[in-house]
Amino acid sequence: MSDRYLAFANSAAGRRLLRTLGLPTPVRLERWLPGRSRTLDGALLLGGDGALLESLPGFAHKLSGELYADRPERFGLPCWRRTDDARLKALVFDASGLSRFEQLGELRTFFQPELKHLAPCPRLLVLGRAPESLDDPQAASVQRALEGFTRSLGKEVRRGGCVQLLYVGEGAEPRLEGALRFFLSPKSAYVSGQVLRLAPCAAQVKDWTRPLAGKTALVTGASRGIGAAIAETLARDGAEVVLLDVPAAADALAALAARFGGSALTLDICSEDAPARLVEALPEGIDILVHNAGITRDKTLAKMNEAQWEAVIEVNLQAPHLLTQALLQAGKLREQGRVVLIASISGIAGNPGQSNYATSKAGLIGLAQAWAPTLAGRGISINAVAPGFIETRMTAAMPLALREAGRRMNALGQGGLPQDVAETVAWLAQPGSGAVSGQVLRVCGQSLLGA
Read off the amino acid at residue 442. R
Strands lying side by side in the sheet with 333-342: 263-266, 240-245, 216-220, 286-291, 333-342, 381-387, 440-443
357 has catalytic annotation = yes
Q: How far is the CB of 224 from ligand NAI (least distance, A)?
A: 5
CB 421 within 8 A of CB 343: no
For residues 260 and 246, what is the distance between their CA atoms, to the nearest angstrom? 19
Q: Considering beta carbons, is residue 198 or 341 the nearer one to ligand NAI?
A: 341
Q: Considering beta carbons, is residue 161 or 221 the nearer one to ligand NAI?
A: 221
For residues 185 and 104, what is the distance between their CA atoms, to the nearest angstrom? 27
Q: Considering beta carbons, is residue 213 or 402 the nearer one to ligand NAI?
A: 402
Q: Considering beta carbons, is residue 268 or 298 the nearer one to ligand NAI?
A: 268
Q: Considering beta carbons, is residue 91 or 249 the nearer one to ligand NAI?
A: 249
CB 198 within 8 A of CB 223: no
CB 363 within 8 A of CB 344: no
Q: What is the DSSP string of 313-326?
A: HIIIIIHHHHHHHH
Which DSSP letter does residue 113 get? Answer: G
Grouping H, G, I as helix, E, B as strand and the rest as coil, residue 351 is: coil
Q: How far is the CB of 159 from ligand NAI (least distance, A)?
A: 24
Plot region of 284 (φ>0 → left; ψ -120 to 50 → alpha; else → beta)? alpha
Q: Considering beta carbons, is residue 44 or 218 the nearer one to ligand NAI?
A: 218
Q: How far is the CB of 294 from ligand NAI (least distance, A)?
A: 2
Torsion, CA 176, CA 342, CA 423, CA 67, rounded to 10: -30
Q: Considering beta carbons, is residue 124 or 340 the nearer one to ligand NAI?
A: 340
List interacting residues with ligand NAI (CB under 6 A). 220-221, 223-227, 245-246, 249, 268-270, 292-295, 315, 342, 344, 387, 389-390, 392-395
Among 5, 68, 190, 357, which one carries the catalytic annotation? 357
Q: How far is the CB of 304 from ligand NAI (least distance, A)?
A: 17
Which DSSP letter does residue 174 get? Answer: G
Q: Any residues with CB less than 8 A from the CB of 389 and at least 6 apart, and which?
A: 395, 406, 407, 409, 410, 415, 416, 444, 445, 447
For residues 273 and 276, what is the distance between their CA atoms, to the nearest angstrom? 5
CB 326 within 8 A of CB 267: no
Residues facing residue 304 across a β-bridge:
none
Residues involved in catalysis: 357
